[in-house]
Amino acid sequence: MSDLTKVGTVIDASAQAGSNDVAGISFTLRKDRPARDQALAEATREAISKAQVIATALGGRVVRIVEVQEEGIARPIPMFQVSGQLMKTDSAPTPIEIGTLDITSRIQLIAEVETGAR
């Protein structure tokens, strides 16, 4: 279903048809590739920045990036709230409240650091 304004009506229709429990409703981003790519790019920039800070703290500099791996690819975790009672009669549809969708990415980076001490 792509029209979220109808979700409450569908829940109510299932209750009127005899359902007494609604569970496992989740919302996801249909075209999540641009958001996942952005999260991956930001995680990579952050990992490189941290490697440079560590190298500087050691009195050196990052010479090269040896390896980069994306850690534990996780799908977006939807945050939402469905509120209201299932056994409604002639009232307004069950409200669906706006939530958030967090898309994260983690990078493991191995960098070669050159220091002045030899």
In this prediction the pTM is 0.61
- 15, two tokens: 């209750």
**Enclosing H/E stretch for 38:** helix 33-57
Distance, CA of 59 to chain centre: 36
Phi, psi of 46 (to 5 degrees): -65, -40
Cα separations (Å) of 82 from 40, 53, 59, 78, 86? Answer: 31, 44, 54, 12, 11
Domains of the chain and CATH, by start: 4-115 (3.30.110)
* pLDDT, tens digit only, all 118 positions of the chain: 567 777 888 888 888 888 877 777 777 778 889 999 999 999 999 999 999 999 999 999 999 999 999 986 555 555 544 444 444 445 667 777 777 788 889 999 999 999 976 5
